[in-house]
Every structure is written in structure tokens, then in C-alpha cells.
Amino acid sequence: MSLEELLLEKKPIIVKRWFHLILKTYPADTVGFLKKQKNQFSNPVGHTISHGIEELFEELLQGMNPVKISPILDTIIRIRAVQDFSPSQAIAFIFLLKKVIREELQREGSENRISEDLSRLESRIDEMALLSFDIFMKCREKIYELKTNEMKNMTYGLLKRANLIYEIQEEEPDLKSSNIINSK
């Protein structure tokens, strides 16, 4: 049995364990809520992560097309980018998949038989992590851009209300009365 076939067979177990490891990256009071609420409207974060990692796992087994995988990663990374995670914490969930896969293969006793395939799979997981980092940084840049614009607008509004800013009317210069034109 190939590694992909074995992992596809164990997909429900792997995805469930991966999800629980991801939840452990959140504060304890949040974990309880994320585990209990299955409804996507009551728990959009838990639903997005759960659904997203399932799709990521499927794409990983199919060879990991960056065009298909980027939007899936984006939905998860956007959530983690606005939360209080450092960049390494935000993308660490990708590496948790390696741990889950290795543990499942050890239980099967098949880790040594498929070590070359496992090495290729782990390289794809590393590629996924690098792609995640790029997405995370774009999200954080956008957040900082929005915060900067908000501060500028707020400062401008305060200065205007305090009558410390005056609008300067831009008028067309009167070129006929100018000394430059008349000096010819």
C-alpha cells in the first residue's frame, strides 16, 4: 500500500487529531468553545479551520498545487493573522500535521517501509508552511496599513474639529497680471 493510499484511509483520524492539536494553540477557554460548537454560524473560526485543514490534507495528498492551496491557506491564515499570534505561532499548525502523520504511521508500523515517500510528503508540508508565511505577512501588512490609515483619518478629524486645519482653496493663478508674462 502506498503512502497516499494509507493516509487517505486514515484521513478522518489524521484530520481530527490535527484539528485538536491546532485547538491547543488557543487559550483554554477558547478551546472549549471551538470544540463544542459545530455550527458554522455560531463558530465560524472552528468551522473554517476544520473545513480548511480537511481540504489542505486532500490537496497535500494530490501533490499540492499552489494555485489551489493558496486560497485554502488564506482563509485559515487570515484568522490567525488578526489574532494574537506571532508569525511562527500563526503558521505552526502546518508543522503539527507532520507530527500527526508520523504518529499514525508508527502505530501502523509502516513508517520505515515508506520513508522515501514520507520524505517527499514532508517536503510538501514544508512548502505549504513557506506559502503560509507569505500569506501571513501579506495579511499583517494589510492590517498595519488599515491601522495607519485609521490613525491618519482620526488625527485629521481631531485637528479639523479643533480648528487647527484649514482647507486651502486651490485657485488658478492669474497669469495675465504676472510680471513674468508681462516682461516680454
Residue 156 lies in a domain: no
Residue 151 lies in a domain: no
In one-letter notation, the amino acid at residue 101 is I
Rounded Cα distance between 68 and 51, Å, is 15
Work out the mean pLDDT of the chain and round it to a whole number: 86
Residue 34 lies in a domain: yes
| Phi/psi at 147 (5° precision) | -65, -40
Residue 174 lies in a domain: no
Residue 175 lies in a domain: no
**pTM surpassing 0.85?**
no
* HSE value, Cβ hemisphere, 13 Å, CA-based, for 146: 7
Residue 184 lies in a domain: no
Cell 480537511 locates to 54
Residue 153 lies in a domain: no
What per-residue confidence (pLDDT) applies to 28? 84
Residue 172 lies in a domain: no
Domain holding 71, by residue range, is: 3-137
Please name which of 42, 181, 66, 85 lies closest in space to residue 129, comparing C-alpha atoms.
66
The total number of structural domains in the chain stands at 1
**pLDDT tens across the length of the chain (184 residues):** 788 888 999 999 999 999 999 999 988 888 887 877 677 788 888 889 999 999 999 999 998 888 999 999 999 999 998 888 889 999 999 999 999 999 988 887 766 677 888 888 999 999 999 999 999 999 999 999 999 999 999 998 888 888 877 666 666 666 665 555 555 4
